[in-house]
Amino acid sequence: MIEFDEFNNPEWALMSQVSRPSRYCGSEWRPSAKISWDDAKLRVCLAFPDVYETGMSYYGFQIIEALIQRENYLADRVYCPWPDMQELMLSRNIPLTSTEHKRPVKDFDVLAFTLPHETSYTNILSMLLLSGVSVLNCARDENSPIVIAGGYGAYTPAVLERFIDVFGVGEAEALLPSLLPVVEGMRGRPRDEVLKAVAELPGFYVPSCYSGGVIERQYSEDFFTLSSMIVPSVSIVHDRAAVELFRGCGRGCRFCQAGMVNRPVRERPESEAAKSIMDIISSTGWEEAGLLSLASCDYSGIETLIDDLSPLLNERHSKLSLPSLRMDGFSVGLAEKLEGLRSKHGGITFAPEAGTQRLRDVINKGITEDMITGCLKEIFSRGWERVKLYFMMGLPTETDDDLDAIAEISHSTLKLARSMGRKRATVSVSVSGFVPKAHTPFQWERQNSIDELREKGRRIKSQVHDRNISVNYHEPEQTFLEGVLSRGDRRTGDVIFRAWETGAGFDNWTEHFDLQRWLEAFEHCGVDPENYTRERDEAEALPWDFVNVGVSKRFLLNERHRAYRGELTQDCRSGCAACGIGCVKN
């Protein structure tokens, strides 16, 4: 029988008292030996503000850890414990420790959070508390790690200024090579000197040292290639190998923050992508590989890549998956090739986003009624019977006709399937509330209220009567909070702190989200949440204006005006739309 040392691994003593103890076991397989704690010239702990099975599905962590280790620095990870474990750890004064080295998080030189979504912000505070690191950056002492944050939340940093020491604005490949040597070289120096040195580097925003000016997003023409990955010992959300085909997106959907802030489009060579997939599959034993990008079907070498990989993966009884498909015949053809690597047809997912052609033109979706109909005919003729469709409600200029069209598309899809002999066909419809995001053409738009979104969701659902069509809409309360935090300012940080103090956490999990707690926090701080969901004047200063993501404000305004005129903007790979970012060669 294995006897665990509870002093070095105190969480083991709590395993029988918490749900899903596998979240805390570690015991992962990794492609290379760990760097010794004592020999490391710099120690970095990557922190994901959600549970292990969600965080281990985040491809970015695999890249960042490999980048850090390549420079011979120590990299480890930590995830947010579930509330039952948090309670036990606090009651027994057990500190949060890293996944592999089982070292207290507070002992690392750098604690680096990724910011995947706004409703995870309270978890950051919980993790700091559990680590023994002051939640407020102004109260940290010389022994505290430098707390860094990156990801999409770093593009609107004012919300978290009270809690984060340094924001990295841009891509890890462009930021880490300059950051890590500076922090290493200043180990043992006063904390404020380290922060001042980091503030001089391009792409880093240090609130305590900021005296004005623009923070420029950093990106790299080349991006890191993985030859292996860390394999979890338990099932995770996306339990598969992965390779990033390209970064950026040229389609210009006006609601999409990722498509704007990740420009320009940069493709990985097809031979490099194929080698990465086979290297990872061979070294890890995963039976599925995901081809990742914002719009993977747009990868110029996608057909060749799938054709080249199919026989190799068949030999290993492995399969490929695409996370996103466009509604056109080309995408359906790709999907069928991928299904050829499976034993039978599964479901297939598309995102029309809006019910009418008019509204799809407003958001620059770039798909027509004929494309939708033609795509559906293709999938039913090729054997699919389960279709999932994603839509949004609350989009700018939306009318009741646009909402009613969602139900109409659902019914017409099922009717078409039955007419083509797919008697067991089902249609699953998912509708989410539109959230205006910073650095997009819709960053000035008003967000629908909770009551408006609930009424719209109910309207769509009430018009669907066939039992083979299911309709679900995202909780309007959570959409409301996401909207407030995504366009917040420093005062919003006060609200986050208050909500967390009164018990908020895991706000992206429906079973833990409590709107009333947040409303009380807004009231306590004297902050009106509707000030953040209102329409913004185009001339007013925005809390994130000092962050330059490369896409110009002039371009975003022009795209907003084109939206209201119902004008489409072509894919930037077909012709430059003068967004301001410039271009690099693929």
Whole-number Å distance between alpha carbons of 552 and 535: 20
Q: What CATH number is given to the structural domain containing 34?
A: 3.40.50.280
Mark which of 216, 233, 250 sits at the end of a domain: 216
Considering all CA atoms of the chain, what is the largest pairwise distance in Å, rounded to the nearest integer? Answer: 73
Whole-number Å distance between alpha carbons of 127 and 114: 13
* Closest to 442 in 3D by CA, of 353, 309, 381, 368: 353
267/21: higher pLDDT: 267
* Closest to 245 in 3D by CA, of 306, 288, 287: 306
Shared-domain flag, residues 192 and 302? no
pLDDT tens column, 404-460:
999 999 999 999 999 999 999 999 999 999 999 999 999 999 999 999 999 999 999
Shared-domain flag, residues 276 and 206? no
The pLDDT, as a whole number, for residue 335 is: 80
Shared-domain flag, residues 184 and 265? no
- Indicate whether 65 belongs to any domain: yes
- Indicate whether 3 belongs to any domain: no
SS3 call for 97: strand
Shared-domain flag, residues 202 and 277? no
For 515, the token pair is 């709107």
Count of structural domains, the chain: 2
pLDDT tens column, 229-287:
999 988 899 899 999 999 999 999 999 999 999 999 999 999 999 999 999 999 999 99
Shared-domain flag, residues 274 and 335? yes
Shared-domain flag, residues 211 and 289? no
- Indicate whether 54 belongs to any domain: yes
89/32: higher pLDDT: 89
SS3 call for 321: strand
* Closest to 485 in 3D by CA, of 462, 459, 513: 513
Residue 570, pLDDT > 60, answer: yes
pLDDT tens column, 57-68:
999 999 999 999
Q: Which residue has the tokens 């207290």?
A: 104
Q: What CATH number is given to the structural domain containing 285?
A: 3.20.20.70
pTM of the predicted model as reported, rounded to 2 decimal places:
0.94
The pLDDT, as a whole number, for residue 340 is: 56
Range of the domain at 133: 10-216
- Indicate whether 331 belongs to any domain: yes
Whole-number Å distance between alpha carbons of 269 and 285: 24
Secondary structure letter of residue 42 according to DSSP: -
CA atoms within 13 A on the CB side of 26: 13
Shared-domain flag, residues 172 and 259? no
Shared-domain flag, residues 211 and 252? no
pLDDT tens column, 274-324:
999 999 999 999 999 999 999 888 999 999 999 999 889 889 888 888 877
* Closest to 168 in 3D by CA, of 44, 354, 20, 33: 44
- Indicate whether 584 belongs to any domain: no
Shared-domain flag, residues 146 and 257? no
Please compute Rg for the chain using Cα positions. 24
With vertex at residue 108, the alpha carbon angle to CA 106 and CA 109, rounded to the nearest 5 degrees, is 115
For 335, the token pair is 């999907």
β-bridge pairing 241-244 and 74-79: unpaired
For residue 194, report the phi and psi dihedrals to the nearest 5 degrees: -60, -45
Shared-domain flag, residues 458 and 317? yes
Shared-domain flag, residues 193 and 330? no
The pLDDT, as a whole number, for residue 44 is: 98
Do residues 109 and 183 touch, judged by C-beta distance below 8 A?
yes
H or E element at residue 525 = helix 515-525
In the sheet with 146-150, reading across from the earlier edge strand, the strands are 74-79, 43-48, 110-114, 146-150, 166-168, 204-205
Secondary structure letter of residue 121 according to DSSP: H
Q: What is the average pLDDT score of the chain?
A: 92
- Indicate whether 307 belongs to any domain: yes
pLDDT tens column, 466-483:
999 999 999 999 999 999
* Closest to 363 in 3D by CA, of 354, 372, 355: 354
- Indicate whether 236 belongs to any domain: no
pLDDT tens column, 502-555:
999 999 999 999 999 999 999 999 999 999 999 999 999 999 999 999 999 999
Shared-domain flag, residues 374 and 412? yes
Mark which of 182, 216, 250 sits at the end of a domain: 216
